[in-house]
Copies of this chain bind each other. A is one copy, B any other.
Amino acid sequence: MTETAENYDATKYERPSVTVDVVIFGLRSGRLHVLMVQRKHWPYADHWAIPGGFVNMDESLEMAARRELEEETGVHDVYMEQLYTFGEPGRDPRTRVISVAYFALIRTEEQALQVSDESNAVRWFPVDELPKDLAFDHEKILRFAIDRLRSKLEYTTLAFQLLPKEFSLPKLKRIYEEILGEKLDKANFYRKLRDSDLLEDTGKLLNSRGRPARLYRFRDSRIEGDFVFRYREAKKKDEQ
């Protein structure tokens, strides 16, 4: 049958629901954390979940993700990109739900959390100490997000989104080590950054225990756009 504007019936087919879920990464005390909300309602009441919700009919997916993020946590103006779309039948007991997952990177010190009335609590969890029995397939989504963050760290400047405006090289290095789970060589790391021309010396120093660290900021021009900072090459294959 030929459909025209006149006879097309938008309700003819049964439709799935569409949600957006947002994996929010931040650093706290130098460790990588994920923001989770504790659900108030069925299904999975009292279970921890990634913030998210249904997409409205008149908003884009990214707008929906940003709206949910702000509603449920008070967080706004952050780096965000689409991660993957999860749509297995049965992943939500209510009905067929297709979830478009995003991940966001935030500067924790610039953000104040707030709890919405959809959840009991909002909390940061270290990525290696996640709560048990997450709602839905959120554990899978989380692992997916962590893997993606790790791999993108190796060829993008994503890590910059997690740092305060001004920071020291040792701090940046510790973040890379934290996320990649691997020690890096100081000299080689510093040299890569110097050569990359990504950083700008603020002239300021940061006192701590030992010798004070120089503070840098990122050159704006390099953060956006397609410039690639590959902090190291692919690992040598040790298989064979």
Q: Which residues of A contact B (CB under 8 A)?
A: 2-5, 8, 10, 13-18, 40-43, 54-55, 57-61, 82, 84-85, 87-89, 93-96, 98, 100, 155, 197, 227-228, 230, 233-234, 237, 239-240
A117 to chain B, nearest CB (A): 11
> How far is A147 from B99 in the complex, measured between Cα atoms in Å?
24
A150 CB to closest chain B CB, in angstroms?
13
Chain A's interface: helix, strand, loop or mixed, by majority? loop
Bound CA span A98–B59, Å: 11
Q: In the complex the two chains form, is A42's CB within 8 Å of B5's CB? A: yes
Instruction: Assess whether A2 is in contact with B89, with CB atoms less than 8 Å apart.
Output: no
Across the interface, A3 reaches (CB within 8 A) one of B41, B233, B239, namely: B41
Q: Which B residues touch A59, using CB under 8 A? A: 89
Do A84 and B87 have beta carbons less than 8 Å apart?
no
Q: Which of B4, B57, B230 contacts A234 (CB 8 A)?
A: B230
List the B residue with the shortest CB-CB distance to A7.
B42
> Residue on B with the closest CB to A98?
B18
Top 6 A-B pairs ranked by shortest CB distance? A10-B95, A61-B87, A15-B15, A85-B85, A4-B42, A85-B100
Chain B residue nearest to A240 in the complex (CB): B197
In whole angstroms, how far apart are the Cα atoms of A230 and B236 in the complex?
11
In the complex, what residues of B have CB within 8 A of residue A43's CB?
A: 5
